[in-house]
Amino acid sequence: MFLVKRASFYLLTFWAAITLNFFLPHLMPGSAVGAVMARAHGEMGPGALHALELAFGVNVHQTLLQQYGIYLSHLAHGNLGISFTYFPEPVSQVIASTLPWTLFLIGLATIISFVVGNLLGIYAAWRRGRPLASVLPIAFTVMAAMPYFWVALIFLYVFGFLTGWFPITHSIGTEVTGIFHRFGSIMYHATLPALTIVITSMGGWMVGMRNNLVSVLSEDYVILAEMKGLPEREIVANYAARNALLPAITGFAMSLGFVVGGALLTEIVFSYPGIGYALYQAVTNQDYPLMQAIFLIIVTAVLIANFLVDLLYSRLDPRVSND
């Protein structure tokens, strides 16, 4: 019952999102064809204009409703149109070539940041009073307060440019063959961008976890767990941390959803061929089909991530699913 309720809510939200995604570009002034023509600096004839209009599906004398129907049917077939920027490549292909890189880099960095941040937060709360536990929250609050692009540029400059320890661009080396060699190269290229994301976002998780846990530690059930003579490990894991983690789960869902939006700054600074970089290109080139598709993917990902976390949450906290 809980599942059906949640699922239908998400389906409704999804429909609203794709509908908005269709109407928004139609409300904007200017036309995509005009943008392409302008970029060609008048070197296109009227025939080319007409061909473009047909290709992009504008000025084809259909009502908005008809266009909406066509949009939905194209969407169902995975036809997202043709990218202006990467013309004549179809949008779906642009996404297929950029999304995996983003999912890998930002996804991995987000998960590492969440896990490590929460573990450090547990340590900082459980062992509070010890020197390291007192220093950690301060250090990471400072780290989280620094502007991301600045940290990224410093890392790029020091560890990429000055010392040459890490590559400063791309996601994989040229001319790498063999599965292990490729894997090694991919990890090597991802290290620096992932590291910058982890160290700047980890502090938030850590401080949040620490504060939640400190208040949970004074709950009666944690004290009772200690009175019961449970091993310390079980008290921390099953009684304290498990309850303190609940509020963080929602935040984790949101950030997982936004993973597919890419970390725009990361991908620009490190010239990483992810979807964030593609979005940046799309925006600067008025590439509506690509923008629309990326927005659609972000919305879908946020919804899916939230749905999964809803399911997970109902398992972690029995109070939400049955009352």
Partner 1 sequence: MDQDTKTPPAFAVEHLTVRYPSERGWVQAIRDVSLQVERGKLVGLAGESGSGKSTLVLAATRVIRPPQVAVDGQSFINGRSILNLRDAELRKMRWSTFSFVTQSAMNALNPVMRLRDQMRDTIRAHDRSYQPSVADARAREVMDMVELPSSKLLSYPHQLSGGQRQRAVIALALLLRPDLIVMDEPTTALDVVVQREIIDLIRRLQNDQGFAVVLITHDLSLLLEVAHHVIVLYGGRVMEAGPAEQLVENPLHPYSQALMHSFPPLHGAVSAQVGIPGAPPDMVSPPPGCPFAPRCDRVMGICRTTMPLLQTVGQVDVACHLMNDQNREVKTL
Residues within the interface to partner 1 (CB under 8 A): 129, 219-221, 223-231, 234, 238-239, 242-243, 246, 316-319, 322-323
Nearer to partner 1, 50 or 130 (CB): 130
- Tokens linked to 118: 């929460």
Which residues, including other chains, have CB under 8 Å from residue 200's CB and lie 6 or more apart? 143, 144, 146, 148, 151
Residue 114: CB minimum distance to partner 1, A = 19
Nearer to partner 1, 53 or 219 (CB): 219
Nearer to partner 1, 164 or 229 (CB): 229
Residue 12: CB minimum distance to partner 1, A = 29
- Tokens linked to 264: 């725009």
Residue 221: CB minimum distance to partner 1, A = 5
d(CA 18, CA 243) in angstroms, rounded, equals 36
Residue 243: CB minimum distance to partner 1, A = 6
Residue 316: CB minimum distance to partner 1, A = 7
Q: Are 285 and 279 in contact (CB under 8 A)?
A: no
- Tokens linked to 64: 């908005």
Nearer to partner 1, 129 or 164 (CB): 129
Q: Are 134 and 128 in contact (CB under 8 A)?
A: yes
d(CA 273, CA 276) in angstroms, rounded, equals 8
Residue 248: CB minimum distance to partner 1, A = 14
Residue 253: CB minimum distance to partner 1, A = 18
Nearer to partner 1, 156 or 209 (CB): 209
Three state DSSP letters for the chain? CHHHHHHHHHHHHHHHHHHHHHHHHHHCCCCHHHHHHHHCCCCCCHHHHHHHHHHHCCCCCCCHHHHHHHHHHHHHCCCCCECCCCCCCEHHHHHHHHHHHHHHHHHHHHHHHHHHHHHHHHHHHHCECEHHHHHHHHHHHHHHHCCHHHHHHHHHHHHHHHCCCCCCCCCCCCCCCCHHHHHHHHHHHHHHHHHHHHHHHHHHHHHHHHHHHHHHHCCHHHHHHHHCCCCHHHHHHHHHHHHHHHHHHHHHHHHHHHHHHCCHHHHHHCCCCCHHHHHHHHHHCCCHHHHHHHHHHHHHHHHHHHHHHHHHHHHHCHHHHCC
Residue 239: CB minimum distance to partner 1, A = 5
Residue 124: CB minimum distance to partner 1, A = 18
Nearer to partner 1, 304 or 316 (CB): 316
Nearer to partner 1, 103 or 246 (CB): 246
